[in-house]
Structure 1
Amino acid sequence: MEVINEQFIDIKCIKATQPIGQMFIGVIDSEDLEKITYADVRRLSEGSENREVEDYIGIQRKLDTKRAKNEIGKYVNLVDATFPNSIILSISSENAKYIENEGVLRILYKDDIAKVLDGQHRIAGFEHYNQSRGTFELIVTIYIDMELEDQAIVFATINKEQRNVSGSLVTDLFAFAESRSPQKTGHNIARALNNKEGSPFYNKIKILGNADSSSETITQSTFVESLLKYITKDKQSDRDFYRRNKEKKHAKLEYVDPKEADRLFLRNIFIDDETDIKIAQIIWNYFWAVQQKWPIAWNEPANNNILNKSTGFIALMRFFKLAYLSFNKRDEVITKEEFKSIFDLIDLEENDFNRQKYVPGGIGQSALYNDLKTQSGL
């Protein structure tokens, strides 16, 4: 039971230790939880100059006020309302202290001291709770002094697994990582190619997966996942290696097993080139050749055009492996002209890249890949 002592609230907690660090699991009254997180939840819908995680990477975690009021706000007042899942919070040690011998987490009772990593809609719904119905307690999991990177990873993990949040948003959150990882490499390259004038991907990648611009035709998650399959077979293990060895400046992953050298043909470059420039240049050169071969189909965002959308892009990324390996120049940058020499062999015309010939999805991707392979002779 929570007891408010002047400016503090005491929560009986169980302390748990996991690889990411310690967490405190407890129960808090919904009214008290709304108090300490209220401003944080509201700023998700109203905007603020102090959104920390959101501002840092340019995301906007919007609060659906209609859902909070019409769905959750009504639900919390039902006779059998329940929220069995934990709400996840991050609080600074300046505002919270664990009293070991009492098993109590003492939290400053003040607006906006708890960062909501998961559960903002549930909390906002309690603005509409009828307090005359009595106490409504909620389960909370609290992290103390959690770094921005870890906040991002927890948010990404929870939402990726539970609510089908945009894969591009999840990818974007890896930008927080202080240590190297395949995910961060994918993110860096996607952003660099999207932002650089003259790039074949200039303003083409939907960095957050929810952009409104008609020129953005490829989601960041599609871009990154298509790239990472040539860099790693276990991106989580690679990330874990760098995290565990981040204090060791010269720590390196093992080079690719020769048996997998064709499948993971970018892995050794990833390991050696910590700036990611080399891989980015290879991708740039390859898609420059695509753009030169089919400038209208690559640049035109029309609905019936598939070349610059996921169907065409995934097929081109599959063909990318054949094109790169055909030069037998392992771990080197293949030039624009070298890639162009391959596309010069292909007879497909601009108007071939339509939904009728290449049906959106796996069937169309395979059909286009096979046509590229056959016509190029690779």
Structure 2
Amino acid sequence: MSNHKIEIKGFPVYQNGQDFIIGTAKIQDLLKYTMFTERLVVDFDDNGKPVYSETIQRHVETSRANQIADFLINDETATFPTNIVLGIPLSAIDSQVFDNNTVTISFKKEVIEGISKAKRGEDSYDIYVTIIDGQHRIRGIELALERLSKNPDNVGTDGISYNEKLNRLLNMDIVISCFMDKSLEYQAMIFSTINRTQKRVSQDLVYSLFGLTENDSPYKTALEVCLALNGHPKSPFYNRIKLYGNDYDGTFIPPLSQSTMIKRIVSFISVSSKEAENDRFRKRKELKGYSGTKKLPFREFYATDDDSSISDCLFYYFSSIQHYFSSLWKYDTKSKPTNVLQSTVGFEALMKILKDILSIDNNIKFEKNAFDKYVNKFADLQLHDTNQFPMTTRGKKILYYSIFIKVFPDDASIEKKKRELESLHNAD
């Protein structure tokens, strides 16, 4: 561990097209970036902060956790030979560097601060690093440390003081496996596979625990589209989405997160985040014939197994953006976006405009130059001006209203949008 950063150092492992990291961590270091919690992370918001399930919690058996604590306190040869499996979102990582056969990951300060707040008993805190498997062991370790810390002067039956046992436990090495930015479905699969080899675990329990289904889902489709757009050399999003597998150390960080893109694509399929969770359990064809008022332009594509239309739509729409704003769209390897088009808020506003376009133009064909007639209408906007178009939540609204007014000047809501835009500018 470095003096100023909390790090994980390990070896990349590749199995059947999947990758993860195997390493070790001292218990005192491990508990600086993760801890047992009953809260289940189901998503990450636009700022990379965890979003928790309102209905699903991960419980441990208190008796089992206490047995593990007893084992650690009373057995001087206590060991944990099996891995603790962690899920690490990219939003938690400050840097990751590959060097020969090793990779070093450093955590952002908010990851460490979240654990510190939880330990201080504060009401508001976030835990970014998820314990996919090993929550009973982690909870047992936490209980053992609590008991040893409260009674440091006690001496065990083996003649070793609790203070010495405490120091030994804090410095014990734990084997860890780290899965970087994997989908919730994949995490559920890992949990299921690991526990199936130890004792029979009901699949109902696995999917209730994670709030997931092993069947097809809008999230899986969104992830596949995201990966395709990031990996195609001619895509406007080529190497522009923050995915696991490349070095980034502050000198180059892709400007758009995988979770942001997935969340937006899903919002074009499902009515709400809550319904998106329910859609995990539905067959595609059950999403056909949507009659609600909310704009869901990708829903019919998903319901009819036409995922290619989703990727084509995004490819050609953002290709038009890239063409008309080529100098602004280009990302020059700086660690922070320099204009609104490179930022998350810019992507959000452009996706909102896309939803409007698709809702009005039902006959548009997803092909080269298909969106030029719309993008050309707002090509004169001075999007390089961060004072006029700040990279903030307010800036997202300003960008959206500015584009909407240009693209849909005859819309019934245009006067209202002009007033809202003026109000946003006056709020500066």
| TM-score, scaled to structure 1 | 0.56
Letter in 1 for 2:232: K
Q: Encode CA deviations 1:7-64: one digit per residue, 9 max, x unaligned.
A: xxxxxxxxxxx9999985533233646956455249999xxxxxxxxxxxxx999899
In structure 2, distance between residues paired with 1:228 and 1:60? 32
What is the match of residue 265 of structure 1?
297
What is the match of residue 366 of structure 1?
397
Letter in 2 for 1:316: L
Correspondence 1:310 to 2:348: no
What is the match of residue 34 of structure 2?
none
Kept in 1: contact 2:340–2:383 (CA 8 A):
no
What is the match of residue 253 of structure 1?
286
User: RMSD across aligned C-alpha pairs, in angstroms?
Assistant: 4.7
Correspondence 1:342 to 2:374: yes
In structure 1, distance between residues paired with 2:373 and 2:330? 21
Kept in 2: contact 1:194–1:201 (CA 8 A):
yes
In structure 1, distance between residues paired with 2:140 and 2:105? 15
Letter in 2 for 1:196: H
Q: Which runs of 5+ in 2 are unaligned?
A: 1-54, 89-102, 120-129, 153-159, 167-184, 193-209, 410-428
* Aligned match for 1:328, one of 342, 355, 362: 362
* Aligned match for 2:162, one of 117, 133, 151: 133
Kept in 2: contact 1:203–1:215 (CA 8 A):
no
Kept in 2: contact 1:200–1:287 (CA 8 A):
yes
Cα separation, partners in 2 of 1:43 and 1:194, compared to 1, 3 Å: closer
Letter in 1 for 2:261: F
Letter in 2 for 1:322: D
Q: State the aligned residue count.
A: 266
In structure 2, distance between residues paired with 1:308 and 1:318? 16
| Secondary structure in 2 matching 1:307 | helix
What is the match of residue 40 of structure 1?
83
In structure 1, distance between residues paired with 2:140 and 2:387? 45
In structure 2, distance between residues paired with 1:296 and 1:186? 28
In structure 1, distance between residues paired with 2:367 and 2:404? 20
In structure 2, distance between residues paired with 1:318 and 1:180? 26
Cα offset for 1:236?
5.0
In structure 2, distance between residues paired with 1:357 and 1:198? 31
Cα offset for 1:279?
0.6
In structure 2, distance between residues paired with 1:346 and 1:89? 46
What is the match of residue 300 of structure 1?
331
| Secondary structure in 1 matching 2:292 | helix
In structure 1, distance between residues paired with 2:81 and 2:287? 48
Correspondence 1:353 to 2:384: yes
Kept in 2: contact 1:306–1:353 (CA 8 A):
yes
Q: Encode CA deviations 1:135-180: one digit per residue, 9 max, x unaligned.
A: 99xxxxxxxxxx96526689xxxxxxxxxxxxxxxxxxx9x96411
What is the match of residue 69 of structure 2?
30
Cα separation, partners in 2 of 1:357 and 1:242, compared to 1, 3 Å: closer
Q: Encode CA deviations 1:275-314: one digit per residue, 9 max, x unaligned.
A: x222111111110111111111111345432212112111
In structure 1, distance between residues paired with 2:81 and 2:385? 50
In structure 1, distance between residues paired with 2:280 and 2:395? 38
Cα separation, partners in 2 of 1:179 and 1:333, compared to 1, 3 Å: farther
Point out the more displaced range, 215-224 or 363-372: 215-224
Kept in 2: contact 1:347–1:375 (CA 8 A):
no
Cα separation, partners in 2 of 1:22 and 1:308, compared to 1, 3 Å: closer
Kept in 2: contact 1:200–1:291 (CA 8 A):
yes
| Secondary structure in 2 matching 1:336 | coil
Cα offset for 1:191?
1.4
Cα offset for 1:273?
1.5
* Aligned match for 2:220, one of 162, 184, 190: 184
* Aligned match for 2:242, one of 206, 209, 224: 206
Cα offset for 1:234?
3.9
In structure 1, distance between residues paired with 2:131 and 2:399? 47
Q: Encode CA deviations 1:225-273: one digit per residue, 9 max, x unaligned.
A: 2222221024554554554x6xxxx76223243332x511211111112
In structure 2, distance between residues paired with 1:362 and 1:177? 33
Matches within 5 A, 1:105-120: 115-117=133-135, 120=138
